[in-house]
Amino acid sequence: MKPLGQRLVEAGLINDTQLQSALREQQKTREYLGRILIRLGYVSEEAVAAALSAQARVKYVDLGQYSPQPEALQLVPEKFSREHLLVPLSYVGKVLVVAMANPLDIITIDELRRMSKGPVEVVGATQSEVLEALDRAYGSGVGAAWNEVVEHSLRHVVGRRGAGGAEADVAQEPPVIRLVESLLTRGIQEGATDIHVEPE
């Protein structure tokens, strides 16, 4: 198996001087060689991802053409996916297909096999595309869940007001719903037309 640097040199993407410079930098920072080459501006992220995929003997893909399936996302926690720079793409026939920024990470692949209780097929992708795919996949899910909470709370608050302002017992409601209901109730009492929540 040829090292990443050698593959890039043979492909004419970097020269020996650039490779030696990146290797010296690696001795200082302990970063992955590919990240150093990208940071130094010697090569593109796409070129490194394609070379890593070739080194791992897996397919290199453009994640913009893929939509992760819910069945695959449910098998791998979001935190794990972000920490290991991967995105589950599909789960068909008990085979989990995962795009990874580092398809040579054997330890992570073994952990994915344990999670899915079956074989794992790996494809390569750039780190930025993996992160963008994760934001699309999990971000939309968070947004939908938040909208559902707001709609539920709004119906609850309006229902209480319609009942003559009688206070319903909301102690059994989940904390996030109680919080939203509190915000909506205060907004209605103050005649607000919009409610904005800003993070600290």
Which residue ranges make up each domain of the chain? 4-43, 63-132, 139-189
Instruction: Give Cβ neighbours of residue 72 (< 8 Å, ≥ 6 apart).
Output: 88, 89, 90, 91, 96, 97, 98
Would the pTM count as exceeding 0.75? no
**63-132 CATH:** 3.30.300.160
Of 109, 105, 99, 104, the closest CA to residue 129 belongs to: 99
From first to last of the 200 residues of the chain, give the pLDDT tens digit. 688 899 899 989 999 999 999 999 999 999 889 999 999 999 999 999 999 999 999 999 999 888 999 999 999 999 999 999 999 999 999 999 999 999 999 999 999 999 999 999 999 999 999 999 999 888 744 444 445 555 555 666 556 555 554 444 544 555 555 666 666 666 666 666 566 555 55
Chain position carrying tokens 């899915």:
116
